[in-house]
Amino acid sequence: MVVIDQLLTSDEVKVVREALLKTEWENGDKTAMGMASSVKKNNQANPNDPIIKDLANELLGRIGSAPKVVSAALPQKIFPPCFNRYSESEEYGYHVDAAIMRLPNSNEVLRSDVSMTLFLSEPDEYEGGELIIQTEFGEQQVKLPAGYVVVYPSSSLHKVTAVTKGRRIAVITWMQSMVGDVTTRQSLFKLDQTIQDLIKEGNTSREHLDQLHNVYHNLIRQFSQV
């Protein structure tokens, strides 16, 4: 599980939220598959709305170019972002994301390796609505400032607790990684972040940094499924 600070600035979040005021919303259970549909109680913006298509395309570019997202997920394919809204008493019970998703208006499919939530509401705008992710270290509770992102393995059980006051608005998407194995992907992320930290500190020689880059990229060559 990786948190990315401020993928969107506060001004950018404001623009997105103002655009969402002009969109159509529909019952979220229409988009859930299998058992997930019975525990999903929220609203989702109509993906065919031109406003939503424009917002999704803009976010696709931002997600695909965000260094820490790329480092954590190594995305090969990204599902068009979906916008959801939880009002009072709405929630999404424990579920696992579908392993295979068909890309909209396409015959192409995506294997969901990495899930992502981008928060558009500030934590003090609503009560409840925490994203709970089951991990090997127990349940992790996530409630981030607007514009912040959390990415986590799509294979994990997770839920959104009931909103008891206010309204929670967020963006969700899924990615097929070039490296399907979560443990290998986590190790590559740690290695890349260590290299970036060494570059920032400026105390490591260029020769040693080149050697680390060589190891990192050769590991990606070894484990990538492209």
Question: Burial letters for 179-188: b for 16+ Cβ neighbours within 10 Å, e otherwise?
Answer: beebebbeeb
SS3 at position 113? coil
SS3 at position 122? coil
Q: Is 95 part of any known ligand binding site?
A: yes
C-alpha 46, offset from chain centre: 19
Q: Is 97 part of any known ligand binding site?
A: yes
Measured between its terminal Cα atoms, the distance across the chain in Å is 24
Q: Is 158 part of any known ligand binding site?
A: yes
Pairing of strands 149-153, 91-95: unpaired
Query: Residues comprising the binding site for Fe cation?
Result: 95, 97, 158
Query: Residues comprising the binding site?
Result: 95, 97, 158, 168
Query: Residues comprising the binding site for 2-oxoglutarate?
Result: 168
